[in-house]
Amino acid sequence: MQDKVIAVSGGVSGLGAEVSARLAAEGARVVIGDLNAAQVEAKAARIGTAPGLAFGVVCDITRPEQCEALAQAAIEKFGQLDGMVNCAGISKPDDSISLAPADWARMVDVQLNGPFYFAQACAKRMLERGGAIVFITSTNAEAAFPRRAAYCSAKAGVAMLTKVLAIEWAEKSIRVNAVGPAYSATEMTIRNIAAGNVSEAQIKKRIPLGRLAQPADVADAVSFLLSDKASFITGHSLYVDGGWLAYGYF
């Protein structure tokens, strides 16, 4: 990652925070975009290995013009953009029979439209030098959960988006991949457990390796896919799931 410039959405919390810190520790210059205006600048300041090596921008990925502004800020500050990771996301389980159209639309906006806007804005700045894009999807791109119609549909959409962008942008040397975690130990999962949507015991029982994904497990996969070690890998979804998707027994 040394001296690469990477834009990370959702970098204030959870997987995005871990990914940002990891990339910075590996020598990257990191631009964090997050909806959380109160924390995004301070978060970026904490991960920079030296002053000025990381900065934060308020960015709602559902707003194309804010994605453009973030990508442009990376160019103006560092002169190049080599990669992006979309970690921004929300979770809101709801019965499909009563799911409000506005809640459906918001989920699709954050989890499918936003990743496209963010990738498009970043890829425009990678056309000369190439680059690497990683979307955070989920095991829910493949596995259906009840009460997650919009979430699962959007994640499956991003898995397909990964393939389409990969083959379309390959001629520009822009690789596009996805990392799909199982339940991970982040604020999102803590909120889901607290809301009674799932229990930690259920998760551990369902995952063959017997534990939640740690943010570091996800950062390992993201760092690999961004790096030159993955230079012939594109259009791929890498599931970091402790065997969740493989498991088909009782």
Ligand X SMILES: NC(=O)c1ccc[n+]([C@@H]2O[C@H](COP(=O)([O-])OP(=O)(O)OC[C@H]3O[C@@H](n4cnc5c(N)ncnc54)[C@H](O)[C@@H]3O)[C@@H](O)[C@H]2O)c1
Contacts with ligand X in 98-117 (CB under 6 A)?
A: 110, 114
Helix then strand then coil, in percent of the chain rounded to 5, is 45, 15, 40
Looking at the Cβ atoms of 99 and 188, the one nearer to ligand X is 188
Which of 5, 16, 30, 165 is the binder for ligand X (CB under 6 A)? 16
**Interface with ligand X, residue 214, by CB under 6 A:** no
Which of 8, 88, 123, 161 is the binder for ligand X (CB under 6 A)? 88
- Residue written as token pair 């990257």: 28
The whole-angstrom separation of Cα 48 and Cα 11 is: 13
Which of 20, 138, 223, 237 is the binder for ligand X (CB under 6 A)? 138
The whole-angstrom separation of Cα 66 and Cα 69 is: 5
The whole-angstrom separation of Cα 217 and Cα 157 is: 23
Nearest distance in Å: CB 58, ligand X:
9
**Interface with ligand X, residue 32, by CB under 6 A:** no
**Interface with ligand X, residue 177, by CB under 6 A:** no
3-state secondary structure of 220: helix
Mark whether 151 is an active-site residue: yes
Question: Which residue is catalytic, options 151, 183, 239, 249?
Answer: 151
Which of 24, 34, 56, 166 is the binder for ligand X (CB under 6 A)? 34
Looking at the Cβ atoms of 23 and 59, the one nearer to ligand X is 59
**Interface with ligand X, residue 15, by CB under 6 A:** yes
**Interface with ligand X, residue 80, by CB under 6 A:** no
Structure token pair of residue 83: 């990669």
Binding mask 49-68 for ligand X (x = CB under 6 A): ----------xxxx------
**Interface with ligand X, residue 217, by CB under 6 A:** no
Q: DSSP labels for 46-107?
A: HH-SSTTSEEEEE--TT-HHHHHHHHHHHHHHHS---EEEE---------TTT--HHHHHHH
- Which residues, in sequence order, are bridge partners of residue 215? none
Instruction: Identify which range of 13-21, 119-127, 168-176, 221-229 contacts ligand X by CB under 6 A.
Output: 13-21
Per-residue burial over 151-164, b = 16 or more CB atoms within 10 Å of its CB, e = otherwise: bbbbbbbbbebbbe
User: Which residues lie closer than 8 Å to 196 by C-beta, 6 or more apart?
Assistant: none
Asked if 204 and 210 count as a contact pair (C-beta separation under 8 A), the reply is yes
Instruction: Identify which range of 30-38, 45-53, 168-176, 193-201 contacts ligand X by CB under 6 A.
Output: 30-38
Task: Give me the active site residues, please.
Answer: 151
Q: Which residues lie near ligand X (CB under 6 A)?
A: 9-10, 12-16, 34-36, 59-62, 87-91, 110, 114, 136, 138, 181, 183-184, 186-189
